[in-house]
Structure 1
């Protein structure tokens, strides 16, 4: 129901924007799918030369594609719209990932070669570049650069329930600075902060830890091979795992060129804000990880199947990302893909999985973090809910975001 309401608000907003506008000029069918071409160019640039922090790379996508979406406003020909997309994304990539400028230049030349020369192409390219330049200036010093994201964190004194560095590396905390970064749409990082995690002496928390201890141990005797495979498949970066999922939606979409650009833009705007909200909640509650809880409970040698990330348990960041992605895709595409889509995993080389909707990946992600031994189920479920709430907020504010 939440997805339907948010999607309806967005569609209503876009409809209102179009009221009274002149009919778009007729355009010949594009011979090149510019949206997929620039999607793949963005993905390749980020993979080859992106930042070390996930949210910084999400920001690159958000800026480039939100600028492209803003450049679509008004009645324009297809040539103009394609050139505007090219101008916005190209300008963003050469600015934020200059090491990939040559590849971006080549992509621009290839795309423009398929767009008819003339005023529409020239004006569209200029409009896209201007929107990108303006948005880059607007987002300057937003706190999403790697140094700001990983601002130093002073570990509090050890106490029951309080996060401490985890074995085997006992690495310093990461993503502490996210919580004070500037969101795109949220009024504040804590606007949708979830309720506190279950109390340590509650039946729910005891059940959560017992589940992780049994199913998430490196030497678990109850976790099945299928569960181990799921944990390993979803271990990698959510940003990387969801790049082909979003691409499948973009490729299968029956929407206009502008609609498909907006889908990518709002997906990544919601993702950035979700990651900011996640760190806000993590460091507000500072809940210890399961490995710390289990060892404090008497099993001093217990280790999880996979190494625990260096930040607090609640809520799960993997699952806030999943919740946000599912919400955006369901609202703007529909609950099911038009045809099955297949994705790889950075943490399971050579392995692929095939899905038919956007919900099953979320379900698998919830289980995976428990079976990896790195999150409580409460943290996973709170993550899904937080991601959906932030994404729904993004959709409710889509008109403002897209207008610029």
Structure 2
């Protein structure tokens, strides 16, 4: 083991000097990082620590289910800041890593580890994620708050034996520093208290032909109408061309809009058993871990199945989280910019007054599909990590009574999640197709960052 570690360090140092020779000015900041890190790297804590973040995401999914107000965009936000906190807590443990400070909107001047001091990065990750989740779920029940405290203690107990007490204390402190800095930054994005006010009473929906109205059977107020105004994590969002991608509203039976609604209606009354299953499998409605939660659960499963290192896991969790957060903002921006009525409203008015969709219609406009956008951005990010031909089986809905669901590749997952909303009767096909495109374009921006 010592010889392997020594060889790793020698190769890393050689690589650093080579890079500096090529572009010394550009890598000045990373030169300091690399030199400090060479004396502080704990190889074991990097390569054997992915179990720590996976354990925290499992608990976070429970909190999303059980904490009031964690609707899909609110859940996506929490997932994103958890991932960024994890990434920044461990990135200094590798000489080739890049902090997200300076790359994300408004994020700068994050704490740095002490020079030439040794850290256990799994312990830093554990304390950072514990603090982040406490901050992001302030309304967690007393029982779940106790679970947070217990998980932090259990993980620390499993990690601390291989370190001096000074290293343990230093690592815990650094993790908490990072979590506090990330949370302070997050509190200025416009979404901090979203869980408290999903249905603002001051919002008055626009009125007119083809515009969204509340839907049966609950007829709820509009959910998170201002979420699209939140600050994006990415500095540069993809161009918004969505408005040109859906047909003009019309009640003419020969129009493209009528035909799109008719397709939803006809599909709804003739679903095959498999299509029915697909609609229910991807429903992820109220009281569940939500669509963003489903996708971070798949991410955690693959991190575990593929035995990613701590830094590899941190990078992927950060990427998927950033994508989910900005997907929610961009999707909700579309929803309340175009205010397209839901299929149930159109079909009951123009085709069949007694028709109801298979699954409940969410309380916000139709265009674009959140499921499509969330799954597309996450699927393309995971494909970039594992490969376009990577096959996997999703086990996340087994506790809900579903069989494990296999996918030949990530595109198959994206396509199925997107069409599931048409099968469920709550989206037009154009909602889903444009959502898929938006998610893909967003994934390209996320992947362009340095991690």
Please give the residue correspondences for 1:292-311 in structure 2 after superposition, counting only pairs within 5 Å: 292-311=345-364
Q: Secondary structure at the match of 1:176?
A: coil
Corresponding residue for residue 233 of structure 1: 281
8 A contact 1:249–1:333 mirrored in 2: no
8 A contact 1:68–1:89 mirrored in 2: yes
8 A contact 1:290–1:373 mirrored in 2: yes
Is structure 2 residue 426 aligned with structure 1 residue 374? yes
Structure 1 residues 214 and 257, CA, compared in 2 at 3 Å: closer, same or farther? same
CA shift, 1:359, in A, is 2.0
Corresponding residue for residue 111 of structure 2: none
Please give the residue correspondences for 1:40-119 in structure 2 after superposition, counting only pairs within 5 Å: 40-49=58-67, 51-75=69-93, 80-98=120-138, 99=140, 100-115=144-159, 116-118=162-164, 119=166
Superposition CA RMSD, Å: 2.8
| Equivalent-residue separation in structure 2 for 1:194 and 1:366 (angstroms) | 16
Please give the residue correspondences for 1:333-352 in structure 2 after superposition, counting only pairs within 5 Å: 333-337=386-390, 340-344=393-397, 349-352=401-404
| Equivalent-residue separation in structure 2 for 1:263 and 1:205 (angstroms) | 39
- The partner residue of 1:265 within 301, 318, 330 is 318
8 A contact 2:211–2:340 mirrored in 1: yes
- Comparing 264-273 with 330-339, greater Cα deviation is found at 330-339
Structure 1 residues 268 and 75, CA, compared in 2 at 3 Å: closer, same or farther? closer
Q: Tell me which structure has the larger Cα radius of gyration.
A: 2
8 A contact 1:84–1:127 mirrored in 2: yes
| Equivalent-residue separation in structure 2 for 1:165 and 1:31 (angstroms) | 47
CA shift, 1:300, in A, is 2.4
Structure 1 residues 63 and 295, CA, compared in 2 at 3 Å: closer, same or farther? same
Structure 1 residues 226 and 174, CA, compared in 2 at 3 Å: closer, same or farther? same
8 A contact 1:93–1:101 mirrored in 2: no
| Equivalent-residue separation in structure 2 for 1:31 and 1:240 (angstroms) | 22
Cα deviations by residue, 1:213-268 (Å, 9 ceiling, x for unpaired): 1012xxx1x22122111111111231243243112221134543112112112211
- Comparing 101-110 with 191-200, greater Cα deviation is found at 191-200
5+ residue gaps, structure 2, are: 1-25, 95-116, 285-289
- Comparing 315-324 with 42-51, greater Cα deviation is found at 42-51
Q: TM-score, normalised by structure 1?
A: 0.84
- The partner residue of 1:25 within 29, 41, 50 is 41
8 A contact 1:213–1:373 mirrored in 2: yes
Structure 1 residues 345 and 165, CA, compared in 2 at 3 Å: closer, same or farther? farther
8 A contact 1:234–1:345 mirrored in 2: no
- The partner residue of 1:165 within 187, 210, 214 is 214
Corresponding residue for residue 12 of structure 1: none
Structure 1 residues 264 and 311, CA, compared in 2 at 3 Å: closer, same or farther? same
8 A contact 1:50–1:97 mirrored in 2: no
Cα deviations by residue, 1:151-207 (Å, 9 ceiling, x for unpaired): 343122241x2112222222221121211112211457x853523321235854333
Cα deviations by residue, 1:104-131 (Å, 9 ceiling, x for unpaired): 1211111111222323332222111111
CA shift, 1:31, in A, is 8.1
Structure 1 residues 173 and 337, CA, compared in 2 at 3 Å: closer, same or farther? same
Residue-pair matches, total: 378
CA shift, 1:381, in A, is 0.6
Is structure 2 residue 181 aligned with structure 1 residue 150? no
Structure 1 residues 300 and 158, CA, compared in 2 at 3 Å: closer, same or farther? farther
Structure 1 residues 46 and 304, CA, compared in 2 at 3 Å: closer, same or farther? closer
Cα deviations by residue, 1:65-118 (Å, 9 ceiling, x for unpaired): 211211223346996210111111011122232443321121111111122232
8 A contact 1:25–1:75 mirrored in 2: yes
- The partner residue of 1:212 within 257, 260, 264 is 264
